[in-house]
Amino acid sequence: MSEDLWPLPAAIDPDLSLPPAATGSVTLIIPTFNEAGNIAELLRRLGDALPAPGYLPCTVLFVDDSTDDTPAVIEKAAADHPFPVAVLHRETAEGGLGGAVVEGLKRADTDWIVVMDADLQHPPHLVPELVGEGERTGADLVVASRYISGGSRAGLAGGYRIAVSRGATWLTKGLFPRALRGISDPMSGFFAMRRSAVTAEALKPLGYKILLELAVRPRLPRGGAPGRPAKVAEVPFVFQDRYSGESKSTAREGLRFLAHLAALRSATPLARLVGFGLIGLSGFVPNLAALWLLTRGGMHYLPAEILANQAGVLWNFLLIETLLFRDRRRHRRRADRIGRFALLANADLLLRIPLIALFVATFGMEVLPATALALATTFVLRFAATEALVYLPRTSRGAGRPTRSRAAQKGTFPCV
């Protein structure tokens, strides 16, 4: 991924070593995509809202995926800003807005991280309050919520957007009741977190709901760094009208959100096994539909069975790619993955018949129980083989790591 990281006027000489971040310091990460019309007003309000730099050391980092002149607008607007401002421009918007936040996390070296949108629907004056609530309560994550006393979703224009937002909130809380306990607004994009409480490398966001990723992503094994914050607090906020530009919430983003939910729900081995089984069951629909079409067209039922089985295999492959193993696809080409998957799926048929014969002839089982046991056995074996032979976790050095620019390697990100 090609990136440019350049500091604005408050940055120090790129050839000098950066001093360590001050105690209580904050990095404000703002992901942007074509938000040029909001930048000047956002920085002005931040300048009014944040305490004096000596009281709350703060750096503003824009992680920009724009195709317009947003970076140039930031440079111009930051000239008189009292805090250091930097821009990380990504040529490839990997992971969407959530991926942009993760890129910011990797570069931040402050006690606190605050994430907010650039469209001024998140009120800048709440930034100190979010950090203050975390310090007061000892929380690792402080969420600005529209759904507690004092909060409001007033800036959501129209009943349709309100219904979609509320429905998405109910869906996420229903899927992750334990992980989201204490978070009334998991769809919020406005929150503060302790940098020490989250491991950026453990996050695999898709789309714009990075808070959900932070709250739900399973922790790393014992002995490793934490994958998500442990203690959560909330402060109310009133969701404002967008200051300028158009909303980035599209139908495509909605589909990415649903795919992300499925990936998070299937992040554990047991959940993946269950998901694999449910997807396999759903494959009977295209299988039977293809069989009906082929036999209606005059094909003999035996070759029709073989061809129809491939329709089910393709269906299962597409769903498994999207819902179960989205983060494990890059180490093999798609043709390689689908070839291996199809081979395993069809080998299942060849293995099942000898197993049934073994259970009946050797162990004296009835045909129906023997068939059920063979189905269960081959299903578990196929799941294990699919995970191991088709979607091996990436282990090569540097795999999946973004390429930093020479400036980023030198440490030009201005930490006060």
Residue 29 and residue 104 in contact, taking contact as beta carbons nearer than 8 Å: yes
Tokens, residue 224: 């490793």
Number of Cα atoms under 13 Å in the Cβ half of residue 74: 28
CA distance 169 to 115: 19
C-alpha to C-alpha distance for 275 and 22, rounded to whole angstroms: 46
Q: Which pLDDT belongs to residue 236? A: 95
* Buried/exposed code over 263-293 (b: 16+ C-beta within 10 A; e: otherwise): bbbbeeeeebbebbeebbeebeebbeebbee
Q: Which DSSP state fits 27? A: E
Instruction: Give the pLDDT confidence score for residue 398 in this predicted structure.
Output: 41
> Beta-carbon neighbour count of residue 185 at 10 Å?
25
Distance (Å, whole) CA 212 – CA 179 = 9
User: Per-residue pLDDT for the chain (416 aa), expressed as one digit of tens each?
Assistant: 444 454 544 333 333 233 345 556 899 999 999 999 999 999 999 988 887 655 668 889 999 999 999 999 998 888 878 888 999 999 887 877 888 898 999 888 899 999 999 999 999 999 999 999 999 999 999 999 999 999 988 766 556 667 777 788 888 888 888 888 889 998 898 999 998 888 777 777 666 678 888 887 755 444 444 456 778 999 999 999 888 877 766 666 677 777 777 777 777 777 788 888 888 888 888 878 888 898 888 888 778 877 887 888 899 899 888 878 877 787 788 888 999 998 888 887 788 778 888 888 888 888 778 877 887 888 888 888 888 888 875 454 444 333 333 333 333 333 33
Closest CA to 156 of 65, 46, 236, 249: 249
Give residue 414's pLDDT: 36
pLDDT value, residue 192 = 95
Domain ranges of the chain: 3-248, 269-390
The tokens of 245 are what? 């530009």
Q: Is the pTM of this model over 0.95?
A: no
Residue 129: φ, ψ to 5°: -70, -40
| 3-248: in CATH 3.90.550.10 | yes
> Phi/psi class of residue 3: alpha, beta or left (left: φ > 0; alpha: ψ in -120 to 50)?
beta
Instruction: Output the 3-class SS for 78-113.
Output: HHHCCCCEEEEEECCCCCHHHHHHHHHHHHCCCCEE
Query: For the range 177-182, what are the long-range contacts, defined as Cβ-Cβ under 8 Å and sequence gap of 24 or more?
Result: 179/215, 179/216, 179/228, 180/215, 180/216, 182/232, 182/234
